[in-house]
Amino acid sequence: MNILKQTTALNAWIATKITTGVGTMACAYAFAVLAFLGLPSAIASGQAIGWVSSQFLQLVLLSVIMVGQRVQGAKTEARDEETHAAVIAMHKETQEIIADLTKVVSS
């Protein structure tokens, strides 16, 4: 059982490191350069359309989409924190109103 936990932890660590590395614009640029290195042979073999779809788009868009998801996630988290703060403030105000009303009703 301990080996299973260690293997799972190692796999999670590796996946996190790879995801962190691939999900950068630097990686997108590196993938673009790598894809363009294969362009001359794709043109020579008449596979330019296949190159665009299988090499360029898949490699480059993978990283760009991951970066975009991270940016969207950060915006969502900031919006959630702002909403939470507003709800807490409204709750506090509501509690104060209830306390004031309780005093009025009790007197």
Domain boundaries defined on the chain: 25-106
Cβ proximity of 21 and 27 under 8 Å = yes
The helix/strand/coil state of 70 is: helix
Q: Return the H-helix or E-strand segment holding 95.
A: helix 58-106
Find out whether 67 and 23 touch, Cβ atoms under 8 Å.
yes
Task: Assign 84 a pLDDT band (cuts: 50, 70, 90).
Answer: very high
pLDDT surpassing 80 at residue 96: yes
- pLDDT tens digits, residue range 6-61? 888 999 999 999 999 999 999 999 999 999 998 999 999 998 888 888 888 988 99
Q: Cα–Cα distance between 19 and 104 in angstroms, integer?
A: 59
